[in-house]
Amino acid sequence: MPDCIFCKIVSGEIPTHFMYENEFVVAFPDIKPVKPGHTLVIPKEHHSWFYEVPKDIANEWFSAAQFLALKLKEDHKADYVQLSIVGKDVPHAHLHLIPQTLRNTSTL
């Protein structure tokens, strides 16, 4: 897709630091992170919506997301990593991984 910003990132036309890459997917930092470690995971092939991604690529995509979530959790000392599929800002299927910390609700 010639006007897709994520396709331009995959092709190298727009430079970024890939945190993960294999034959099917790449991951890179979100340009406007909501929290430190906010990462996008995308299939290299252009698919507008997550439900359009072929199963074999979807398996690679979610496997990469799981691997990265564990790494982000450790690196950012997070309690968990939120996974979100929104898809309205950029019409290229993508997952958001956002390290999160639970608030301490105990009272001493």
What's the CATH number where 27 sits?
3.30.428.10
Total domains in the fold of the chain: 1
pTM of the model: 0.91
pLDDT tens digits for 65-99? 999 999 999 999 999 999 999 877 899 999 999 99
In a domain, 66, yes or no: yes
In a domain, 22, yes or no: yes
In a domain, 107, yes or no: no
Active site residues: 94
pLDDT at 87: 77
User: For the residues of 8-65, what is the DSSP string, one character each?
Assistant: HHHHTSS----SEE-SSEEEEE-SS-SSTT-EEEEESS--SSGGGS-HHHHHHHHHHH
Contact, 62 vs 54, CB < 8 A?
Answer: no
The domain in which residue 31 lies consists of: 5-100
Contact, 44 vs 25, CB < 8 A?
Answer: yes
Spatial CA neighbour of 27 closest among 2, 60, 64: 64
pLDDT at 105: 54
Sequence-separated (6 or more) residues with CB below 8 Å from residue 16: 9, 28, 29
In a domain, 90, yes or no: yes
pLDDT at 104: 63
In a domain, 25, yes or no: yes
Mean pLDDT rounded to a whole number for the chain: 93
In a domain, 106, yes or no: no
In a domain, 42, yes or no: yes
Please say if the pLDDT value at position 107 is more than 60: no
In a domain, 52, yes or no: yes
